[in-house]
């Protein structure tokens, strides 16, 4: 008898062989080959739920990108098959748990909370309740978080009824039983870093609810009769211009970007106070005054202003190599480069700048005792550095210094009626998540977007407007 040819393998048989091969590779820890096998499996049968889940786990190499890719694959399965939540088999619970864990790692946290809630109630396992307790803190569900931790301890006391968890539970319960805070400022709040969709969403909501959120309880001190005086760099000029556009009276004292330091602010105060200062510095101040400005009308505008906005610029400044005295150079790039050889150009300290700003504000308050002080940090970068080869690193050091100065002055200098407005954070932090904060108008990387400046001022006005 002649041998009969083997019957062609059925589709189901081929799929089964590929699946078996994929599991064999997993047992052998050959995960690359396993991925290829399950990808081939899904090419043949894209609806294979188990194959999709296995591949999602295989591609998760721990990196954010691959973890997010695995998360999306798992969430797609759950969205297409909602019946999984009603059938708490071991495999289904494993899928829900895996998706929840990945959401807790790379977001969205709201989805992680939703999945862990469903998982814990379906599995009734201590570990799932413990994870639920942890992720609930991301959504500030404090009471539910406590209850979930307690549930985990009751279900598995050997692993979860620990001294640390008992202490946590005791402290949490005492906080719940404590009298409710009488004011907003007494409440202990937890700040959460916004998710990407928040940064890319409504700009005003981002500023008010995630960046300047701590200022919501501040007094509303702005109305249409409020007069502003801004001082500092070109960013302060943009602020003043935007205020005028919004119908407010605002005067701006221009200080060149090259010398926008608190040391320049200090000698300017000395000039206004008729103190004995170096003749060269006096001449430079007079030459830097905007057209039509004088000592007398500067003092008059300050006396008539209701809000003084001080924009802190840069930390580096020029100093005499012999005496160590501050030097006020001419505001041109060439002269600054030449003077960098003649003088010391260094990044000044937080303490030096705090002393200078305090000195300035003490003078402002003598001129106008009831004036509201708003401190900001200019987001405009340091265009050049004669101290560091990388202007980017120099700018980071400079802005970090000035942000600390603002914090110290506003929070630890015993100055009343003062606040910090986070325009710097709006541009540097929100701007790192979106592409329209710098160079939007002219392509220059060091120029801030006029639209975003206007939006920042709109948020400022809306937050503090009494009318």
CATH of the domain at 281: 3.40.50.1110
Closest CA to 402 of 433, 384, 371, 423: 423
Pairing of strands 344-347, 316-319: antiparallel
CA distances from 428 to 58, 284, 314, 434, 454 (A): 37, 32, 15, 10, 16
Q: In the chain, how many domains are there?
A: 2
Residues 94 and 226 in one domain: no
Residues 150 and 247 in one domain: no
Residue where a domain terminates, one of 132, 155, 172? 172
- Which neighbouring-strand residues pair with 408? none
Instruction: Report the C-alpha gap between 165 and 156 in whole angstroms.
Output: 12
**Domain membership flag for residue 6:** no
Answer whether residue 296 shows pLDDT above 70: yes
Among the ranges given (148-162, 196-210, 302-316, 424-438), the one the predictor scored with the smallest mean pLDDT: 424-438
Residues 131 and 263 in one domain: no
**Domain membership flag for residue 450:** yes
- Which neighbouring-strand residues pair with 374? 309, 419
* SS3 at position 138: helix
Answer whether residue 119 shows pLDDT above 60: yes
Residues 55 and 126 in one domain: yes
Token representation of residue 186 = 């007494």
Residues 121 and 209 in one domain: no
User: 416-429: per-residue pLDDT in tens?
Assistant: 999 999 999 998 89
**Domain membership flag for residue 372:** yes
**Domain membership flag for residue 2:** no
Residues 343 and 393 in one domain: yes
Residues 247 and 316 in one domain: yes
Residues 92 and 215 in one domain: no
pLDDT for 54 equals 95
Omega prior to 351 cis, within 30 of 0? no
CB 95 within 8 A of CB 122: no
Instruction: Report the C-alpha gap between 463 and 212 in whole angstroms.
Output: 9
**Domain membership flag for residue 4:** no
| Single pTM value for the model | 0.77
Answer whether residue 297 shows pLDDT above 80: yes
**Domain membership flag for residue 349:** yes
**Domain membership flag for residue 422:** yes
Residues 156 and 223 in one domain: no
pLDDT for 52 equals 95
Domain span at 97? 11-172
Long-range contacts of 200-207 (CB under 8 A, 24+ apart): 200/433, 200/434, 203/452, 203/455, 203/459, 204/455, 204/458, 204/459, 204/462, 206/430, 207/426, 207/430, 207/455, 207/456, 207/459
């Amino acid at each position: 008898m002649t041998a009969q040819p083997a019957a062609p393998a059925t589709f189901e048989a081929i799929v089964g062989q590929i699946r078996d091969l994929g599991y064999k590779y997993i047992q052998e820890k050959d995960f690359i080959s396993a991925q290829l096998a399950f990808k081939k499996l899904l090419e043949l049968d894209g609806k294979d739920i188990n194959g999709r889940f296995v591949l999602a786990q295989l591609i998760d190499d721990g990196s954010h990108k691959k973890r997010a890719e695995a998360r999306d694959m798992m969430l797609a399965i759950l969205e297409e098959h909602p019946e999984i939540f009603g059938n708490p088999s071991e495999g289904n619970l494993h899928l829900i748990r895996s998706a929840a864990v990945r959401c807790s790692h790379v977001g969205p946290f709201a989805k992680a909370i939703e999945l862990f809630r469903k998982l814990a109630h379906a599995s009734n396992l201590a570990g799932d309740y413990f994870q639920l307790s942890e992720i609930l803190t991301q959504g500030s569900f404090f009471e539910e978080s406590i209850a979930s931790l307690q549930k985990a301890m009751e279900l598995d006391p050997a692993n979860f009824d620990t001294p640390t968890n008992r202490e946590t539970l005791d402290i949490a319960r005492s906080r719940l039983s404590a009298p409710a805070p009488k004011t907003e400022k007494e409440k202990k709040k937890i700040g959460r870093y916004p998710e990407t969709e928040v940064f890319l969403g409504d700009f005003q909501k981002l500023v008010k609810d995630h960046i300047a959120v701590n200022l919501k309880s501040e007094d509303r001190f702005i109305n249409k009769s409020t007069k502003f005086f801004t001082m500092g760099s070109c960013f302060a000029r943009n602020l003043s211009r935007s205020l005028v556009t919004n119908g407010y009276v605002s005067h701006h004292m221009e200080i060149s970007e090259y010398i926008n330091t608190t040391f320049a602010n200090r000698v300017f105060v000395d000039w206004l106070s008729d103190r004995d200062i170096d003749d060269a510095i006096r001449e430079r101040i007079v030459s830097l005054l905007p057209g039509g400005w004088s000592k007398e009308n500067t003092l008059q505008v300050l006396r008539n202003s209701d809000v003084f906005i001080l924009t802190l610029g840069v930390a580096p400044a020029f100093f005499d190599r012999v005496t160590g005295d501050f030097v006020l150079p001419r505001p041109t790039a060439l002269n600054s480069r030449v003077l960098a050889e003649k003088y010391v150009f260094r990044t000044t300290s937080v303490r030096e700048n705090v002393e200078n700003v305090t000195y300035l504000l003490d003078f402002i308050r003598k001129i106008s005792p009831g004036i509201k002080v708003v401190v900001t940090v200019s987001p405009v970068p340091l265009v050049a550095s004669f101290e560091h080869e990388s202007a980017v690193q120099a700018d980071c050091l400079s802005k970090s210094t000035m942000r600390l100065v603002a914090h110290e002055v506003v929070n630890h200098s015993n100055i009343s009626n003062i606040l910090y407005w986070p325009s710097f954070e709006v541009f540097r932090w929100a701007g790192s998540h979106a592409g329209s904060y710098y160079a939007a108008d002219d392509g220059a990387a060091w120029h801030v977007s006029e639209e975003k400046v206007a939006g920042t001022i709109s948020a400022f006005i809306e937050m503090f407007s009494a009318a």
